[in-house]
């Protein structure tokens, strides 16, 4: 059967001809053609022959529409060819400059090429079964002065703003067989850049201007003019828009006329590389070979929002959200961060106009990659930039967050302009707000206690549960400004104190912060000690256990992840901690750590800073416990949601609720959901999350669409393991004291056992680890900062400890004999285990 542009069946004419047939409605630049079908279901036989035939007369009839002397291209057009998954590029034979009398014989040759070993190998490698017999496209030859291919997006870098054109003189077959070098042109935003012969999109540039003209070409006489490049780019864009996918087209110029010979989806479009930020801090310092064409971050006029650079860092947030975090938890904390920091900006007297202008900041404080939570660092810097005193606050923020790398200078250009006001006025305003800080903290405690009341969740309907959650969100999550503002002042006082301190030894600085007052986070460890002392004497601890669970039952490993099992769910960890510490007491291996010497007086201003740093840090740690209470209540609500929805068969099991986002659950209850197949959503999420292995880089950057971008991982100095026995690894000393003991490496503290005299070695810790601290002779943590939860608690408890020991987990095994110096911030492997 023979088809042409006026009479065709897309099922019968194959991919190549099908694209041309459809494009005929949007462009008149396609040379005349017809197709000899493959009869739809024909397949290559074992001997390489093909079934079907008998259409020679129809082919002769179709050829009558062409003038004498016309030459033809005879090429395959298989149903599976030129698709988005498989191109079959170059697998079937193509014949050019065929005379009319010979067309049908070459049609048979193209069909016969389906039985070649080349095609057979192609289909075997891709698991496609038998090779398809192609339909055959017969197309009038263009007497090409130049020809080539054009990509609607850069296939190497994934940059969708660029059209890449390769051109040769004469027919394009010389481009395919590689017999001549092509010239490459990059068209972007009306500008044309030419690369020297043989170069790709990243080759040496001869010149570029706008307006369809190429200048600065020392060689001269390029194959294409600037206007021709723009015309090809427009044709490629038209084809891409028509098909809804970026296209790879074949084109040819005959005189001044441009012809479209073929259009197919780009099957090799790579993830967007953009311009990476190397560890040296410069833009494009480590981002791969393919920088974006403009050489800037995010391109011309980029806001750093929908496109442009994004910097992701989990240095500190992994303490709270370590490992894979479920959709429900992430949807909650993303919402909380948005509301909290918007309110903070208002409280710090940032104008509503400035807040509205930078709305993107607040909705993009966090990101989720491989199931793990990251800070969106550019949003954090933008937030600090619009707060008073940006130049000083940025450095303080880095210290508080435990961020190791400063923002590269090239990226700072993306930050918004700071709020107005003089330095003196800013300082006065900050001091005025600080005078109200303690009162605001007390008012927050009152509001929290009034909102988190003792209620019987089991007696509520689903609608009432949703309303109860909405009340918590409205009163607390949207008004968490007192804790955040206190954190802001803690950041400032801590930064000023550290800057003012002239002791010279950074780790010794921590002794100043040991006695910050009554920190509630240290109380669980003290209670464990008390219960262990009672048990060591043979006493009854049941009342103490009940008191502990009533007050700290929501504290657990990863306590801010709603999916985590709490002590109320399973108190085994608590009992293990008490038993281990009681054994330590019986063995007489509880070390007494001497109090550090009081810091010398350094003047009124220094002592003022010290006093208020301690106060704000105490508030910060105690308010974190209140956050645990709120998350504990939301966890209980989520579990109730899960039980109800599982009972009504909306989901399979109670804990499936954690694979749904917050608004999906509430929308299902309140009638605003766009998808009510909750089981389907859970199934999709579980399948995706099952692929996450928990391994993720600490810091990386992306460009443009985050999840279609190549991740440029920032390599950090000092992450290599120690080279051998006797070599000290350096970290940050948190509490003075020298301890020698065997290492106990713990990845999951649930059910962990620490023997008397052992040193706890962890990669990261959170408040759920506290019960293990008093059991250990010392504490070592690979990650963390001087103000991380572990650092604060061990200082209060007087346990020698060092945090931020890079390479710790790669160097130390359980049973290694270690020496820990909590003052110098050093740990040394004395001997390896047997």
Spatial contact of 182 and 148, defined as CB atoms under 8 Å apart: yes
- Cα–Cα dist 722/742, whole Å: 17
Q: What pLDDT sits at residue 711?
A: 84
Spatial contact of 329 and 562, defined as CB atoms under 8 Å apart: yes
664: nearest Cα among 362, 371, 331, 321: 331
> What is the CB-side half-sphere exposure of residue 577 using CA atoms within 13 A?
27
CB atoms under 10 Å from CB of 433, counted, come to 17
Q: What pLDDT sits at residue 651?
A: 97
Q: What pLDDT sits at residue 809?
A: 84
Q: What pLDDT sits at residue 496?
A: 81
Q: What is the dihedral of CA 124, 125, 129, 131, to 10 degrees?
A: -70
* pTM, entire model: 0.76
516: nearest Cα among 438, 617, 598: 617
Contacts of 648 (CB under 8 A, 6+ apart): none
Spatial contact of 168 and 144, defined as CB atoms under 8 Å apart: no
**Mean pLDDT in runs of 10 for the chain (834 residues)?**
88 90 91 84 42 73 91 87 55 88 93 79 68 87 94 89 93 72 90 66 40 46 90 96 94 96 86 58 34 33 52 82 93 92 82 91 94 91 76 57 61 66 63 82 89 88 95 85 83 80 59 67 82 91 92 83 89 84 75 52 76 86 85 94 96 97 97 97 96 83 87 60 71 85 88 84 81 85 75 75 86 93 89 84
| Residue 816, token pair as written in the block | 């290694």
Spatial contact of 659 and 644, defined as CB atoms under 8 Å apart: no
Number of helices (H) and strands (E) in the chain: give both, helices first: 24, 25
| Residue 540, token pair as written in the block | 């009854």
Spatial contact of 186 and 193, defined as CB atoms under 8 Å apart: yes
Q: What pLDDT sits at residue 305?
A: 39
Give SS3 for 168: strand
| Residue 455, token pair as written in the block | 């209620």
Q: What pLDDT sits at residue 299?
A: 35
List pLDDT tens digits, range 679-737: 999 999 999 999 997 777 888 988 888 898 888 886 554 444 454 677 889 888 888 78
- Cα–Cα dist 240/26, whole Å: 12
* Pairing label, strands 33-36, 2-4: antiparallel
Spatial contact of 689 and 371, defined as CB atoms under 8 Å apart: yes
- Helices assigned H by DSSP within 377-436: 377-386, 390-401, 409-412, 423-435
29: nearest Cα among 247, 232, 244: 232
Q: What pLDDT sits at residue 506?
A: 56
DSSP β-bridge partners for residue 826: 730, 821
76: nearest Cα among 107, 44, 118, 122: 107
């Amino acid at each position: 059967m023979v088809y042409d542009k006026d009479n065709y069946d897309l099922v019968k004419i194959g991919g190549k001809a099908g694209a041309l047939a459809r494009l005929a409605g949007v462009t008149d630049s396609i040379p005349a053609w017809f197709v000899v079908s493959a009869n739809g279901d024909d397949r290559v036989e074992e001997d390489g022959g093909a079934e079907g035939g008998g259409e020679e007369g129809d082919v002769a009839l179709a050829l009558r529409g062409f003038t004498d002397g016309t030459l033809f291209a005879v090429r395959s057009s298989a149903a599976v060819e030129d698709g988005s998954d498989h191109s079959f590029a170059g697998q079937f034979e193509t014949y050019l400059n065929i005379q009319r009398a010979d067309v049908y014989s070459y049609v048979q040759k193209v069909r016969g090429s389906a039985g070649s070993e080349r095609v057979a190998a192609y289909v075997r490698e891709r698991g496609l079964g038998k090779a398809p017999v192609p339909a055959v496209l017969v197309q009038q030859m263009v007497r090409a002065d130049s020809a080539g291919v054009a990509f609607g997006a850069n296939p190497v870098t994934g940059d969708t703003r660029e059209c890449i054109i390769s051109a040769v003189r004469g027919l394009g077959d010389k481009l395919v067989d590689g017999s001549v070098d092509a010239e490459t042109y990059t068209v972007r935003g009306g500008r044309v850049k030419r690369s020297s012969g043989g170069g790709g999109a990243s080759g040496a540039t001869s010149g570029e201007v706008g307006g369809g003209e190429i200048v600065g070409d020392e060689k001269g006489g390029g194959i294409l003019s600037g206007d021709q490049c723009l015309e090809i780019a427009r044709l490629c864009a038209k084809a891409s828009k028509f098909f809804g996918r970026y296209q790879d087209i074949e084109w040819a110029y005959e005189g001044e006329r441009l012809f479209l010979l073929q259009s197919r989806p780009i099957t090799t479009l790579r993830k967007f590389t953009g311009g990476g930020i190397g560890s040296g801090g410069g833009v494009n310092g480590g981002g791969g070979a393919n920088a974006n064409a403009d050489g800037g971050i995010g391109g011309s006029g980029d806001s750093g929002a929908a496109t442009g650079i994004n910097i992701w860092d989990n240095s500190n947030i992994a303490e709270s959200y370590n490992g894979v975090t479920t959709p429900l938890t992430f949807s909650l904390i993303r919402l909380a961060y948005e509301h909290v920091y918007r309110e903070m900006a208002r409280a710090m007297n940032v104008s509503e106009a400035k807040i509205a202008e930078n709305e993107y900041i607040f909705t993009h404080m966090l990101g989720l990659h491989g199931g793990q939570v990251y800070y969106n660092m550019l949003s954090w810097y933008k937030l600090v930039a619009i707060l008073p005193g940006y130049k000083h606050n940025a450095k303080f923020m880095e210290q508080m967050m435990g961020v190791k790398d400063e923002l590269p200078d090239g990226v700072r250009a993306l930050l918004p302009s700071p709020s107005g006001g003089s330095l003196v006025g800013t300082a006065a305003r900050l001091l005025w707000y600080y005078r109200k800080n303690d009162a605001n903290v007390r008012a927050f405690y009152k509001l929290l206690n009034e909102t988190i009341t003792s209620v019987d969740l089991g007696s509520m309907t689903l609608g009432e549960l949703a309303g109860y959650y909405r009340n918590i969100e409205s009163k607390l999550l949207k008004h968490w400004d007192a804790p955040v503002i206190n954190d802001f002042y803690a950041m400032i006082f801590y930064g000023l104190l550290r800057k003012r301190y002239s002791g010279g030894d950074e780790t010794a600085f921590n002794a100043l912060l040991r006695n910050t007052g009554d920190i509630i986070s240290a109380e669980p460890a003290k209670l464990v000690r008390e219960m262990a002392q009672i048990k060591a004497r043979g006493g009854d601890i049941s009342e103490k256990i009940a008191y502990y669970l009533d007050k700290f039952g929501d504290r657990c490993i990863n306590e801010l992840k709603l999916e985590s099992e709490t002590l109320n769910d399973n108190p085994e960890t608590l009992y293990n901690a008490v038993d281990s510490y009681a054994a330590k007491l019986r063995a007489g291996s509880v070390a007494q750590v001497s109090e550090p010497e009081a810091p010398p007086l350094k003047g009124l201003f220094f002592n003022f800073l010290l006093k208020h740093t301690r106060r704000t840090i105490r508030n910060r740690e105690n308010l974190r416990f209140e956050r645990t209470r709120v998350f504990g209540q939301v966890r209980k609500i989520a579990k109730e949601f899960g039980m109800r929805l599982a009972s009504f068969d909306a989901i399979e099991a109670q804990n499936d609720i954690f694979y749904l986002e917050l608004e999906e659950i509430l929308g299902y209850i309140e009638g605003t959901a766009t998808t009510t197949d909750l089981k389907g959503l859970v199934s999709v999420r579980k399948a995706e999350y099952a692929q996450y292995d928990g391994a993720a880089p600490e810091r990386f950057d992306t460009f443009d669409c985050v999840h279609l971008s190549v991740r440029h991982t920032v390599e950090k100095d000092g992450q290599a393991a120690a080279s051998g026995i006797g070599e000290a690894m350096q970290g940050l000393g948190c509490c003075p004291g020298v301890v020698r003991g065997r290492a106990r490496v713990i990845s999951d503290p649930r059910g962990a056992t620490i023997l008397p005299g052992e040193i706890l070695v962890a990669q990261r810790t959170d408040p759920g680890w506290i019960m293990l601290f008093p059991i250990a002779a010392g504490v070592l943590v690979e990650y963390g900062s001087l103000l991380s939860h572990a650092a604060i608690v061990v200082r209060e408890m007087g346990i020698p400890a060092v945090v931020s020991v890079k390479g710790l987990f790669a160097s130390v095994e359980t049973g290694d004999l270690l020496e820990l110096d909590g003052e110098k911030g050093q740990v040394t492997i004395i001997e390896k285990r047997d």
